[in-house]
Every structure is written in C-alpha cells, then in structure tokens.
Amino acid sequence: MARADFAERVRTILYGTGLGERPAIRRAAANANEAVTGSVLTFDMLAGEGAKLSAGDVLSVKDDTAAATAFAVYVLSVSTDAVTAENATDGTAAVAGSDSGDLDSVLFEQNPLVTTYKIHQAIDTIIDTSLWSRGVYKYAVSTVTPNLATGQTNLAGTEMKVVDAYQKIGSEIISIPFSIKRNVHTTLAASTVLGNYDPVDGSTIYLTSVAKMAIGDETTYPAMIEIVATGAAALCLGSTVSETQLERTGKDNQQRGQRDVSQSLWRDFLTLTANYSAELAEDRSGIRVDRG
C-alpha cells in the first residue's frame, strides 16, 4: 500500500482538515453489476446511496493504488441505486462491462477537486522527472567480477552513474577507473547499461552508484513521501484548488488564488528537495545532491 500513502498525503495537502472540507464518500454495491454500451456505463450503488447522487456528479474511485485502475465516471442519471454514467471520464481507463467486478464494493469520492487518477499521474511525474533532475536520488552498491578480456560488464538497468569503483588487493583498497554507458544496444548489454573499467587484477570490483528514486524507497527514506506529495499537490493545483484556500470575490481572485497556492506549494517542494538532499549529501546510505 505504499502508493496509497503518497496519494493520501496529497489529499491531506489539497484539502483542509475541517468538517466537510473533503469530498463526500459514497459506496458501490458488493456486486456493482457493471454493464457497458459504447461510452455509457451502468452500475449499482449500495442501497440508499443513489439518493445522494445527482446528474453531473463525478465519482472517483478513492483507494485504488494505480492510475490504470483509478476509475472516474460522470453521472448522467440515477434511478434508485442504479447509476448511468459516462465511462472513463477525466482520461481514466474504462470500467469493463459484463459484471466485471471493477467497481464491486469500491469507495468513491463524490465531486473531488482532483480525481485519484490525476493524483497518481502527478505522483509519477514528480518521481519520474522532478527528483533526479534536482539532484535527489539514492545510492546503490554492487559487485562486479572483472572480464579481463574486454574490461566491460553488463550493469543493472537502474544504475544511472557510478560514483566510486575499487578493488581490495590484499589489505589495500585501490580505486580504479570506471565509466558507464546507458542506452546501448541490447546485444552489448541486456539491460542497456554497460560498464567499462580498468581493473588491477581479476578480483572483485566494488561499485557505488546512484539511481533514481522509486515507489517503495520511502521505507528507507520516509521523507520521500512528503517531498513527492508536496510536488504532486502543486501539479494537481495547476487546474484546481480547494475553495477553503481562496478569496471568493470573483473569477480574477480565484484564478489568482489558484496560481498563488500552486506556486507556494511548488516553492515548498523545491525547498524540501534542496534541504533534504543537502542534509544527506555526504551520506552514502541516503539521498545525495550533486550541485555540479
């Protein structure tokens, strides 16, 4: 449930903590009885939940842990507890028909400021593009048995850059030249990452490299959740923002408020990445920053 931790922290940033500031939660039936005709989806809510819905509502699956199944639908009509909706609204994947079970017993957020799908997209964007580029990454250690004939070896695909390579000759630790080539042809390196080195002899080479952060690394680096969630919330607010954080005196003020909140969160994200990276800059068991 690591990804759910990130998504929930994004929601905490997006919404206030007061009563009624988060969207209402609605429940689907244990057997939602999904059926699809073209772009129209029908399914059943739990008994009594249909009365709380209206045409025009957006229902977003709340607790799903992947963008691919974080469904969202646009309600077209409600008959008792049977809902007719536009399938795959907000760019989400489509709910399958034929009583697929995609919506069985799920919890929906009703008219969320940002759908769960968009939250997952923002989380992925921050991790994939905004951590490594700002010098936030993790260390990894590995060993290589030298190929004395070629001076090359296939490395793990996650290795972005080797920062140290050495051999232990007797009781002496000796640094050796080492370089890394990425995106090479698979006939040269199955992982597309090829290491080149000049060893002293055939004894083991010990490598220290840096790699991009990924979901799951928060177990070792708990602050990663706060860093990623803050950046993801800023991206989410590029299109919408909680009314509790806005002046309500007109469209111009609302747009200005949206920009201000988003920019403020992005500044917080930049501060968090800089501070956390700098704090661990010399710690080879943690996140490091390279200022060039």
pLDDT in tens, 129-184: 899 888 888 888 899 999 999 999 999 888 888 989 999 999 999 999 999 999 99
- pLDDT of 75 reads 98
CB burial of residue 176 (10 Å; 0-12, 13-18, 19+): middle
Phi, psi torsion values for 240, nearest 5 degrees: -160, 165
The edge-to-edge listing of strands for the beta sheet with 35-37 is 25-27, 107-110, 58-61, 72-79, 82-86, 40-44, 35-37
Residues with Cβ within 8 Å of 174's Cβ and at least 6 positions away in sequence, in order, are 166, 167, 168, 200
- pLDDT of 279 reads 64
Least Cα distance to 112 among 246, 8, 224 occurs for: 8
pLDDT tens digits for 274-283?
Answer: 887 776 555 5
**Residue 72 binned pLDDT confidence (cut-offs 50, 70, 90):** very high
Average model confidence (pLDDT) across the chain: 87
- Section 253-272 average pLDDT: 75
Q: With 50 as the cut, is the pLDDT of residue 291 above it?
A: no
Residue at token pair 């790699």? 211
As a whole-number percent, the residues of the chain with pLDDT over 90 amount to 59
CATH second-level architecture of 24-111? Beta Barrel (2.40)
- Section 251-256 average pLDDT: 52
CB burial of residue 140 (10 Å; 0-12, 13-18, 19+): middle
- pLDDT of 258 reads 56
Structure tokens at 46: 């739990």
- pLDDT of 289 reads 47
**Could you tell me the pTM of the whole model?**
0.81
The span from the CA of 78 to the CA of 74, in Å, is 11
Domain-by-domain residue ranges, the chain? 24-111, 123-134+214-288, 137-211
Contact predicate 248/254, CB 8 Å: yes
Q: With 90 as the cut, is the pLDDT of residue 29 above it?
A: yes
The span from the CA of 142 to the CA of 18, in Å, is 49
